[in-house]
Structure 1
Amino acid sequence: MDRMNQAFEKMKMLVGMEVGDEEEQPEPSFLDDFNRNCTLSTKQRLYGFAICLAAGITCTLMSMLVFFHPIKFGITFSFGNVLALGSTAFLIGPKRQLTMMLDPVRIYATAIYMASIIIALFCAEYVQNKLLTLLAIVLEFGALVWYSLSYIPFARSMVSKIVAGCFDTEF
């Protein structure tokens, strides 16, 4: 029976539900209240994830149609990335999403990724310089890859070693 309770708690943790005793928590924060008031069933979470991810991928792919218009490309590509990133909040909940994003292992990757999205949108919307927008999108794509690799154990160190090996000039 204890083993079944542990499995049930792991399942709750995977879908972003609260695990443990509620009376041990001293004072609920804004995100705790938000999570408690916005409870979704597993089916609703999966639908939300699928719809948000599909919309994000669609925006990202649609941005390729306007590739030669860097300002439109920057806006649709960045919006697609934000939607795809937000889709995981449906699965694990916004509080856990933020906790994982601000984890010491990936705090720098998250900061660079978020900053690159803001820079790309700023260059596309306010500066309206095609070259700067294109450079910001390249930075955003690289930051997206590096951020994604932070969720795979040892992936960033492996990619770093491969890139260092490719640019090693000693034979």
Structure 2
Amino acid sequence: MDKLRRVLSGREENEELGLTAQVLDASTLSYSTRVKWFVICFAGGILCSILGSALLFLPNGIKLFAVFYTIGNLAALSSTCFLMGPLNQLKRMFEPTRLIATIVMLLCLVLTLCAVFWWHKRGLAIIFCIMQFLAMTWYSISYIPFARDAVMKCFTTCLGS
């Protein structure tokens, strides 16, 4: 709003600002814009994953499934960049509590595409997609306090009884 007032009053002070300040001023998004793009990107990711699952049963559909499912997971993962910023997202992804889940998730994204396009192994591609899902779920619940502990406790009680 201040920028608009400066321009309308004829007092544009951008020449006094450095290049870095001008770039940062032009690239900041409002909170509502960030939330809108998060929802758009996340919904697009879910839509791609569902579309990939629907294409699985077509002839040669395993390739489409692997590509759309992987793109969907990448879109859902990158949607959080709109909420916290890309650098902060990368820092949080590689924190010690999320490091293993992040590595497994990224590795499975790559291995899914390798299994389909280079190795031509349908079963392996599906296994890697399942591992993508599990790693993405484990990574996602790491942002909820005590959620991992609750899931581990649930599994140990179910398997222990």
For 2:13, the equivalent position in structure 1 comes to none
| Residue among 138, 142, 150 paired with 2:134 | 142
1:33-90, CA deviations, whole angstroms, 9 ceiling, x for partnerless residues? 9x93632222332232222112111101111211233222111111001001111101
Structure 1 gap segments, 5+ residues each: 1-31
SS in 2 for 1:40: coil
For 2:65, the equivalent position in structure 1 comes to 73
| CA distance in structure 2 between the partners assigned to 1:121 and 1:108 by the alignment | 20
Note the 1:31-50 alignment, pairs <5 A: 36=24, 38-50=27-39
Answering whether residue 156 of structure 2 is matched by residue 164 of structure 1, we say yes
* Deviation for aligned residue 1:109: 1.3
Give the superposed CA RMSD.
2.1
* Deviation for aligned residue 1:166: 2.0
| Residue among 103, 119, 122 paired with 2:114 | 122
| CA distance in structure 1 between the partners assigned to 2:152 and 2:34 by the alignment | 35
| CA distance in structure 1 between the partners assigned to 2:100 and 2:139 by the alignment | 9
Same amino acid, percent of matched pairs? 34
| CA distance in structure 2 between the partners assigned to 1:166 and 1:70 by the alignment | 34
| CA distance in structure 2 between the partners assigned to 1:49 and 1:162 by the alignment | 31
- Alignment-mate amino acid for residue 36 of structure 2: Y
TM-score by length of 2: 0.76
For 1:152, the equivalent position in structure 2 comes to 144
TM-score by length of 1: 0.72
* Deviation for aligned residue 1:124: 2.0
Pairs aligned (count)? 137
Question: 1:71, 1:129 within 8 Å by CA — same for their partners in 2?
Answer: no
State the 4+ residue runs in structure 1 displaced beyond 6 angstroms.
none
* Deviation for aligned residue 1:167: 2.0
SS in 2 for 1:127: coil
* Structure with max Cα Rg: 2
Question: 1:109, 1:150 within 8 Å by CA — same for their partners in 2?
Answer: no
* Deviation for aligned residue 1:130: 0.7
Note the 1:48-87 alignment, pairs <5 A: 48-68=37-57, 69-87=61-79
Structure 2 gap segments, 5+ residues each: 1-19
| Higher relative contact order, structure no. (Cα contacts within 8 Å, ≥ 6 residues apart) | 1
| CA distance in structure 2 between the partners assigned to 1:159 and 1:49 by the alignment | 26
